[in-house]
Amino acid sequence: MAQASLQTQLNMRTLRQAMTDMAMQTVGQIRDNFWTQGIYPFGEAWHGRTRTWTTANGWFEENKRREGKPGAWFSTGGGVESFHWQVRGDLDNGETPPRDITFDFFYAEHLKYAEMGVFKGKPYKATNHGRYANYRHRYTEWRPKEGLTQRPSIMIEFRHLQGRLERYLRKRYEIYFEAYVLRGLEGITGDRDISGTHGRMRWYTKSDTLPILPYGPK
Q: What is the pLDDT of residue 205?
A: 45
Residue 214 included in any domain? no
Residue 215 included in any domain? no
Residue 218 included in any domain? no
Q: What is the pLDDT of residue 3?
A: 54
Residue 211 included in any domain? no
How much is the average pLDDT of 47-73? 66
Residues 160/134, Cβ–Cβ less than 8 Å: no
Q: What percent of the chain has pLDDT over 70?
A: 75
Q: What is the pLDDT of residues 131-178, one digit of tens each?
A: 888 888 888 777 777 777 788 899 999 999 999 999 999 999 998 999
Residue 209 included in any domain? no
Q: What is the pLDDT of residue 26?
A: 93
Report the C-alpha gap between 160 and 158 in whole angstroms.
Answer: 5
Residue 210 included in any domain? no
- Statement: residue 95 has pLDDT above 70: yes
The span from the first CA to the last CA of the chain, in angstroms, equals 17
Peptide bond into 97 cis (omega under 30): no
Domain housing 152: 2-200
Q: What is the pLDDT of residue 204?
A: 52
Residue 216 included in any domain? no
CA angle (174 as vertex; 168, 177 as ends), nearest 5 = 60
Count of structural domains within the chain: 1
Residue 207 included in any domain? no
Q: What is the pLDDT of residue 72?
A: 76
DSSP string, 85-99: EEEESS---TTSPP-
